[in-house]
Amino acid sequence: MMAGSKRNKLMQVIAKNIIAWMASMLVIVPLCLIVLNAFKSNGEALTMTIDLPRKWVFSNFAVVIEKGKLLRSFLNSMLYSCLATAITVFFGSMAAYVFSRRRSKGVAAVYMYVILGMVIPVNYVSLMKVMQVTGLNNTMIGIVLLYAALQTPFTIFLIYGFVSKIPVELDEAALLDGCTAFQLYIRIIFPMLKSAVVTAAVLCFLNTWNEFIMPLYFLNSSNKWPMTLAIYNFFGQFEMNWNLICADVILTCLPVIIMYLLGQKYIVGGQTAGAVKG
């Protein structure tokens, strides 16, 4: 009986590993396909195989940067993502702090109203009208504000749980020592939210960098396009040059991968801290 039980457990482990490997291949194979074809010549890349290049063509990336105007798009994406992330995290964390500390029915209703922004779809017709009336359509500040508004509900929801675990006695002690409400938040509360804030910042940056619909609708000038629209436009112009398209995809994804790797430990730490009582 014991031998049969061990054999069944071993078979279950092997089956799980096989399923995990098969699922991983669904991600790894397309990734390898893009990376390898980015270093091939145009004729060789047309076959779209995972064979190693006969000759490694590193100039594909220089061609993409020049013809695809990726430098301008990269700077635009960095500007939009960094500004939207800073605005979202700073004001979202302050809002989460207020919502967490003031437990009245009115504040709870406002909190639930804000959190609904995570699930309610965007009405682009009304939003377009608002952007036109306010003069923010096709402007950099307008798209940054849209990005920030889009990410704020999730940021508040994420940080809210962390603030709730900070003892209220710290607030009372700081106020007795002469701190103003703003000083209390900046000097005491905000440093204690490092894990949650970094987690929110990384996720906000990644979501903003990958956003496609907002700039497509609200940015008419190609000089203001982020990387997502640049690669879309590049694909339309060079749809038969798969080596250049793959190189473009890699250059577009590279900042996101670097950002995630730098903030990975904070994301994991933040999620773990949010699941454990202090």
**Number of independent structural domains in the chain:** 2
Q: What's the pLDDT tens digit per position in 170-190? A: 888 888 888 888 888 888 888
Residue 28 lies in a domain: yes
Q: What's the pLDDT tens digit per position in 44-99? A: 888 878 888 888 888 888 888 887 778 888 899 999 999 999 999 999 999 999 89
Q: Is the pLDDT of residue 129 over 80?
A: yes
Q: Is the pLDDT of residue 4 over 70?
A: no
Q: Is the pLDDT of residue 138 over 60?
A: yes
Q: Which range is least confidently modeled, 6-10, 75-79, 102-106, 151-155?
A: 6-10
- Region 190-200: mean pLDDT is 86
Given this model, what pLDDT does residue 186 score? 87
Q: Which residues contact 274 (CB under 8 A, 6 or more apart)?
A: 158, 161, 162, 196
- Domain with 28, as residue range(s), is 2-37
171, 183 in Cβ contact below 8 A? no
Reference 79, options 231, 174, 209; nearest CA is 209
Q: Is residue 205 located within the same domain as residue 120?
A: yes
Q: Is residue 172 located within the same domain as residue 123?
A: yes
Q: Is residue 261 located within the same domain as residue 131?
A: yes
Q: Which residues contact 175 (CB under 8 A, 6 or more apart)?
A: 184
| Mean pLDDT score of the chain | 84
Q: Is residue 21 located within the same domain as residue 143?
A: no
Q: Is residue 154 located within the same domain as residue 241?
A: yes
Q: Which range is least confidently modeled, 7-11, 149-153, 195-199, 268-272?
A: 268-272
Q: Is residue 93 located within the same domain as residue 224?
A: yes
Q: Is residue 111 located within the same domain as residue 193?
A: yes
Task: Report the CATH number that the domain containing residue 233 is assigned in CATH.
Answer: 1.10.3720.10
Q: Is residue 16 located within the same domain as residue 86?
A: no
Residue 56 lies in a domain: no
Q: Which pLDDT band holds residue 163 (cuts at 50, 70, 90)?
A: confident
Residue 126 lies in a domain: yes
Q: Is the pLDDT of residue 267 over 80?
A: no
Q: Is residue 112 located within the same domain as residue 182?
A: yes
Given this model, what pLDDT does residue 274 score? 43
Report the alpha-carbon angle 249-266-258, nearest 5: 20
Return the residue matching tokens 């991600």: 27
Q: Which pLDDT band holds residue 275 (cuts at 50, 70, 90)?
A: very low
Residue 111 lies in a domain: yes
Give the distance, in angstroms, between the CA of residue 92 and the centroid of all CA atoms in the same chain.
16
Residue 52 lies in a domain: no
Residue 161 lies in a domain: yes
Residue 165 lies in a domain: yes
Given this model, what pLDDT does residue 81 score? 93
Q: Is residue 254 located within the same domain as residue 116?
A: yes
Give the distance, in angstroms, between the CA of residue 37 and the centroid of all CA atoms in the same chain.
26
- Region 119-141: mean pLDDT is 90
Q: Is the pLDDT of residue 145 over 90?
A: yes
- pLDDT over 70, % of the chain: 93
pTM (global) more than 0.85: no
Q: Which pLDDT band holds residue 10 (cuts at 50, 70, 90)?
A: confident
Q: Is residue 10 located within the same domain as residue 134?
A: no
